[in-house]
Amino acid sequence: MTKRVDIDAIRRWRRRGFYSENALVKLLQKNGFNAVRIPVSNPSLSPLPDVIARKENHIYAFEVKNAGYYAYFPKQQIEKLFRFLDELIPLDKQFKHAVVAAHLGKKWVFKEISWKDWENGKLPEKVRILKRDKGNFKIEQFSELENSETN
């Protein structure tokens, strides 16, 4: 009986992640990004993000977490974002962005991680995002910029 409860809990946890990844893709598309979810069903060492997006010349690799009040992103997951961008995207670093995204209820908080931290081996052991945090990356800013340029 205990084993069944554990399996159900894991399924619910995975569905939350799947839901948040799809919600992020829709949010990105609504704001003019081309975006897709990468369907990797288990944690792996492959350098694949949860979501990849493109806007003009820029590529974004997102690691997504669904949580209530705070989300933790382990160093290994952040390193995978940089490995993906570094090894598989043939662009200058100024066009490649590693972003952690916390889906906290109805609120999204995004934090772009610095290339310099990764290159200098200074990534933190984990990045924490709290519901009250503002983040340093706003998806909506791109839509506002486009609207102001066209008007």
DSSP H or E run through 60: strand 58-67
Known catalytic residue at 114: no
Which residue is catalytic, options 41, 46, 114, 143? 41
Nearest CA to 93 out of 46, 128, 126, 61 is that of: 61
Do residues 60 and 37 lie in contact, with contact meaning Cβ atoms separated by under 8 Å? no
Residues acting as catalytic residues:
41
